[in-house]
Structure 1
């Protein structure tokens, strides 16, 4: 026997979270020249502690695609630009045949980020050969993460929002708007800590 569904919780039309968990107060608008394309693993899409939505709402030029294995033709279209080599992947360089000189991307017009756990991001790379072919941007001397509400296995592992903002600062230079976005992220982290503390 089917039981009737309970009432739907009202959701914020902007961040799509329940009104009680709305994150819009932490949005800090920032203009970015390089587009961010966030490839989000399906397990991250509804994760309450995920930071990708806050990053998307804050940045002027940011898209989210949800999936694990993407259609090669659609992905190729999404990665295509008019300038060769202008789409980069934010990911540590782990390909021994690539010289370590590919650490900065002055010609980067689009930056791809994988919004997933490290284990899932490696799987996404394996499942999508087009991503493996992209030049990579590595963060230079990233600070310790401010993201205390989710466990990181290594000190250099950052949230998607932190990684995206630090990469933009590396590409586009210091910006008061990017600094303000990180302050908004601190508020988001405090909100999540208060909601999920034992």
Structure 2
């Protein structure tokens, strides 16, 4: 039995070269700073959309959580005006000012849930909760959480809420293009 041959990947977007989205990456400017906290195993995944979101957002930073040789700088999470994008937990009061910074966790549902439990700074900040995706939303697989979606989809929806539909449109197009390319090829390999 032979193992499937892994195709070369793009160094920037991490997708197989035949699926590379680098030429399609928009430059999305936002008032809100996006702090993407990526679980340590996510960067190696071809399905990683947090990296695409960070590449597209001009006002973003990508951090790694769980690396043995690098501690997460939680001071960034504790900055005033920081909220957490997460489907569960206490939401911000309706009259709260919009966040200046939004923390977005990038990983599987179980990884991100553990991150909210283990990173003390995340437990005390307000949460931006998105409504569940509409039935029939284009996706590669069914989520394990009712409100689950890819990190790129979640960021696009958060940008729409915070910055407007026009600002979010390039991210939504990128997310749709990603799913279509992968579906057309039938594989991420």
On whether the aligned pair clears a TM of 0.5, the verdict is yes
Distance change (3 Å), C-alpha of 1:104 and 1:32: farther
SS for the counterpart of 2:74 is helix
Match of 1:179 in 2: 169
Does structure 2 conserve the Cα–Cα contact (< 8 Å) formed by 1:26 and 1:185? no
Q: Distance in 2 between matches of 1:12 and 1:141?
A: 32
Match of 1:148 in 2: 139
Match of 1:5 in 2: none
Match of 1:48 in 2: 46
Count of aligned pairs between the two proteins: 180
Does structure 2 conserve the Cα–Cα contact (< 8 Å) formed by 1:56 and 1:62? yes
Q: TM-score, normalised by structure 1?
A: 0.77
Shift of 1:32: 1.0
Structure 1: gaps (5+ residues): 1-8
Q: Distance in 2 between matches of 1:103 and 1:25?
A: 39
2:107 is equivalent to residue 113 of structure 1: no
Query: 1:15 pairs with 13, 16, 19, which one?
Result: 13
Query: 2:34 pairs with 33, 36, 45, which one?
Result: 36
Q: TM-score, normalised by structure 2?
A: 0.80
Structural RMSD (CA): 2.8
Structure 2: gaps (5+ residues): 1-6
